[in-house]
């Protein structure tokens, strides 16, 4: 009975979250999905449903892929769209090097600042 309640609660919640319009809600679907897999495994094992048990391993893999994608994998940093609008130069300075970054206009500098501020976690 507990396994059926666990399957129902985690399964319905996971499927419901996959259909959300909001990315921040959709990423929780895999957590509920993978939380339900022990209930599926127990139910299939005790009932002797070996086909369901094999299918459960595929579902577990799919939910684990979601956990990797949304929660573990490092976020890729895209190319800087402002790189074309700035110049850099480096020169020796005291005990190391100094890098100078310049922009042609104030708007370019503000856009670069906003881009960097948005990229910070």
The number of distinct structural domains making up the chain is: 2
34: closest CA among 54, 14, 55? 14
How confident is the model over 45-98, as pLDDT tens digits?
A: 999 999 999 999 999 999 999 999 989 987 776 666 666 666 666 777 777 777
**Which residue segment(s) compose the domain that 114 sits in?**
83-119
What is the radius of gyration, based on Cα positions, of the chain? 25
Residue 104, CA distances (Å) to 32, 109, 116 in order? 50, 8, 18
In this structure, the answer to whether residues 68 and 99 fall within a common structural domain is no
- Asked whether residue 17 falls in the same domain as residue 57, the answer is yes
**Residue 75's pLDDT is what?**
75
Classify residue 22: in a domain, yes or no: yes
Same domain, 13 and 51: yes
Q: Based on the domain organization, do 63 and 90 belong to the same domain? A: no
pLDDT digits (tens, 9 = 90+) for 9-58: 999 999 999 999 998 899 999 999 999 999 999 999 999 999 999 999 99
Q: Pick from 33, 52, 72: which residue ends a domain?
A: 72
Same domain for 62 and 89, yes or no, is no
Looking at the structure, tell me whether residues 56 and 87 fall in a common domain.
no
Query: Distance (Å, rounded) from C-alpha 48 to C-alpha 70?
Result: 34
Three-class SS state of 57: helix
The CA-CA-CA angle for residues 22, 16, 57, to 5°, reads 110
100: β partners: 89
Does 78 map to a domain? no
């Amino acid at each position: 009975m507990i396994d059926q309640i666990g399957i129902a609660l985690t399964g319905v919640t996971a499927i419901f979250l996959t259909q959300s319009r909001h990315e921040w809600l959709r990423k929780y679907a895999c957590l509920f999905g993978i939380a339900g897999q022990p209930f599926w495994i127990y139910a299939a094992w005790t009932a002797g449903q070996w086909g369901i048990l094999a299918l459960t391993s595929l579902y577990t893999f799919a939910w684990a892929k979601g956990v990797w994608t949304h929660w573990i994998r490092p976020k890729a940093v895209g190319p800087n769209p402002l790189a074309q609008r700035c110049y850099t130069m480096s020169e020796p300075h005291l005990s190391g090097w100094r890098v100078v970054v310049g922009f042609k206009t104030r708007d370019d500098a503000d856009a670069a600042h906003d881009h960097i501020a948005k990229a910070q976690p």
